Structure 1
Amino acid sequence: MDKLNAMAIFVRVVERGSFSAVAREMQTSQPTISKVLRALETELGGKLISRSTRQLSLTDEGQRYYSECRQILAAVDAAEHSFHSGRETVAGNLKIGSSVSFGRLQIAPRLPEFLKQHPQVQIDLQLSDQNQDLVSEGLDVTFRIGELTDSGLIARRIGTTHRVTVAAPGYLKQHGQPQTPEELRGHNCLQFNLLNSQNLWVYESGAQHHEVRIKGNAKSNNSEAIREMVLGGLGIALSPVWLFSEDLNAGRVTAILQDYTAQSLPIHAMSPANRRQSARVKAFVDYMSQALETAPELQPVK
C-alpha cells in the first residue's frame, strides 16, 4: 500500500465529508476510495472513521491521526517545493479567487505588472462574496479577509486590513457625530454581514476595550454596496480603509471616532493542503504580499 497516498485520501475524505466527492475529485470510483481507507485502517489496527448512512465522523483515534497526517503531508509538500522551486518556470494557468471588492480594487489593478514580470502566466480571476471551495472550483489560491475557519487549507498571512468608521458629511450634519463607540447605539449603522463578528464592532483606546452591538435598517454581503449606502447618507459603516481611501481624500466621507482604534482584520492567501504550491502560485502570493505591505490605502488612517 502507498501509505502517503492513503494518508492524502484519508485527509480529503475528512475535509470533504464524502467518499463520492473525493472519488470524483480524484477521478476514480467510490469503492476504490473505500478500499484504500479500509486497508489503511487494517494496517493501523483500528477504526479512523465511523460510517453511517447520513454522515461520516472521526473516531478519537481518527481525529488524532488526521491532525498528524496533515502535518506530514504539509512537510512533504514543502520538501518537494524546496527541491523544485529553483528549477520550475513561473508559467501556466493560475486560477485566483477573491471577494468581489478586494479582487476588483486590490488584485485586478496589480495584474498588469505581475504579468509583465511573468508573461508566461495566464490568469483566471474568480470573484465571489461567498467563501469559495478551492477544490471544487479548481482554484489555485484564494484571498480571504477576516479570521479563518477552514481547517483543511494552508494559510499565509500577507497583510492587514485596517478599518475606519465613516459617514457622509450630510448624515453627520443631520444626526450628529458620535464621540465614543457607545454612542453608535443611537445611530443607523450599516452592517456587512459576511464577517463572523457581524453586528459587533470592537474598538480599543489605550487600555480600554469597547464592544458595541450596532443596529441599522440596511445591511449587505457586498462591501461596495455598503460604500454606496454611506455615500448616499444612509448611515455609518465600519469598513476597510482601502474601500474608502479615495472618498476620504476627496471629502466625500468623514472618518469618525479617530481616538479609537477599530479592530483590524488579517488578509490571508489560502491554498489546498494536499496540493503542492506551484512556482506561479508562490510568485503571485509573494508579489501581492510585497504590494500590500507598501500600498498607501492599506495603512491606518492618521
Structure 2
Amino acid sequence: MDRIDAMRAFIAVAKLGSFSAAADKLDKSPQLISKYVSQLETHLTTRLLNRTTRKVHLTEAGERYVIRAEQVLNDIDEMESQLGDMQANAKGLLRISAPVAFATLHLAPLIHAFQQQYPDVDIDLQLNDRKVDIVEEGFDIALRIGNLKNSSLIARRLTTIRMVLCAAPAYLAEFGTPDSLEALKSHNYLRYSYLDADNGPLPHQYLVGTTHDQLGKLSCNHGGLLSQVAVLGQGIVLQPTFICYKALQAGSLSVILPEHTPEPIHLYAVYAHRQLLASKVRAFIDFASQYFGETPYWDSVLSEQLKQT
C-alpha cells in the first residue's frame, strides 16, 4: 500500500462525501479509491468511514484522523514545493514594511537589483518606524532592527548593525572629547526617541541618575536628522553606522569612546509562520541576506575607523 496515496484518497472521500466524487477528483477509479481506504483502515486497525448505499460518514476516529492526515500531506506538499519551486518563478505583489532611515538610505539599490533579477515581483514598500502587525496589516515581510522579542513570527538575520558614539570635530574642539561615560553628563546628547530597552542599548542607560531632560536639548525619531545635527556641531549622538558612515568616512564625524561601543544589533526579516512560504518572500529574504552579507558595505568602507571599536 502506498500510504500517501491512501491518505489522499481517504481525505478526498471525507471531504466530498462519496467514493465516486473522490475518484473523479483524483482521476482514479472508484474501485481503486475504495481499495486504498480499506487498506488504510486495515493498516490502522480502525474503521474510518461508515458506508451506506448513498453516502459515507466519518467515524469518530475518522474525524480525528482526517485533521492530522491533512496536516501531514500539507507538510509534504510544502516540502516538495520548496524543493521544486525555483526562485526564478517568484511572482506577485510583495508587501514590505521597513524602518524609515534604513530604507531611505539603503533599500532603493537593493530593490532595483532584486527586481532586475525577479521582474515578475511587484513591491509595495511602506516606511514606518513602529512595529507593524504583519498579519493584521497584510505585510509579507517586515524589516526590523534591534533585539527581537520571542513571538509566533519567524525572523531571519540579514546583517549586523554596529552602533558608534560620535560627534563633529568642531564640537569636540569646543567642548572637549569625553574620556569616560561619566563625562558624557557634561555634554549635549542628541537622543533617538524611538529607541528603548527592547530595541538596543541607550547611552542614557549608562548615565545612572541622569534624567532624559538633562541628557540634551534635542530628541528626534529620525536618526538621519540627528546625524545631520551632529555634523553641524550641536552634540554627541549614538548612531548606527548605516546612517553615519559617509560622515565618518569624510571626517565630519569622529568616533568617541570606542572602548564603550555597544554590542552590535542586527537587521532581521520578519515574516508570519505559514505552512507554505511564498517563493516571492523566500526569494527576497535570500537576496537581501546575500546583498548585505555579514559585514555590510557601509562598514567595509569604515575598516580603519572601526578597527578600534
Query: TM-score scaled to structure 1, two decimals?
Result: 0.67
User: What is the match of residue 277 of structure 1?
Assistant: 277
Kept after mapping to 2: 8 A contact 1:166/1:238: yes
Q: 1:187 to 1:79 in 2, by over 3 A?
A: farther
Residues 79-109 of structure 1: per-residue CA shift (max 9 Å, x gap): 6543212333211111111000111112222
User: What is the match of residue 51 of structure 2?
Assistant: none
* 1:239 counterpart letter in structure 2: Q
User: What is the match of residue 97 of structure 1?
Assistant: 97
Displacement of 1:236 in angstroms is: 0.7
Displacement of 1:275 in angstroms is: 6.2
1:247 aligned onto 2:247: yes
User: What is the match of residue 298 of structure 2?
Assistant: 297
Rounded Cα–Cα distance in structure 2 between residues aligned with 1:181 and 1:144: 28
Structure ranking higher in strand proportion: 1
Rounded Cα–Cα distance in structure 1 between residues aligned with 2:263 and 2:183: 17
Alignment of 1:137-156 (within 5 A): 137-149=137-149, 151-156=151-156
Alignment of 1:89-238 (within 5 A): 89-149=89-149, 151-197=151-197, 201=202, 211-213=206-208, 215-238=215-238
Rounded Cα–Cα distance in structure 1 between residues aligned with 2:105 and 2:275: 28
Percent identity of equivalent pairs: 32
Rounded Cα–Cα distance in structure 2 between residues aligned with 1:177 and 1:79: 61
Structure ranking higher in helix proportion: 2
User: What is the match of residue 262 of structure 1?
Assistant: 262
Rounded Cα–Cα distance in structure 1 between residues aligned with 2:270 and 2:200: 26
* 1:201 counterpart letter in structure 2: L
User: What is the match of residue 51 of structure 1?
Assistant: none
Displacement of 1:287 in angstroms is: 1.1
Stretch of structure 1 that moved more, 118-127 or 221-230:
221-230
Rounded Cα–Cα distance in structure 2 between residues aligned with 1:122 and 1:260: 43
Structure having the higher Rg? 2
Residues 189-240 of structure 1: per-residue CA shift (max 9 Å, x gap): 111122223896369xxxxxx9335711211111112112212222111110
Residues 229-256 of structure 1: per-residue CA shift (max 9 Å, x gap): 2122221111101111111111111111
Q: 1:199 to 1:117 in 2, by over 3 A?
A: closer
Rounded Cα–Cα distance in structure 2 between residues aligned with 1:275 and 1:218: 46
1:84 aligned onto 2:85: no
Kept after mapping to 2: 8 A contact 1:77/1:275: yes
Rounded Cα–Cα distance in structure 2 between residues aligned with 1:120 and 1:150: 34
SS at 1:291's partner residue? Answer: helix
SS at 2:196's partner residue? Answer: coil
* 2:107 counterpart letter in structure 1: I
Rounded Cα–Cα distance in structure 2 between residues aligned with 1:159 and 1:178: 30
Kept after mapping to 1: 8 A contact 2:144/2:267: yes
Q: 1:149 to 1:77 in 2, by over 3 A?
A: farther
Q: 1:179 to 1:79 in 2, by over 3 A?
A: farther
SS at 2:97's partner residue? Answer: strand
Kept after mapping to 1: 8 A contact 2:195/2:202: no
Q: 1:76 to 1:163 in 2, by over 3 A?
A: farther
SS at 2:242's partner residue? Answer: helix
User: What is the match of residue 3 of structure 2?
Assistant: none
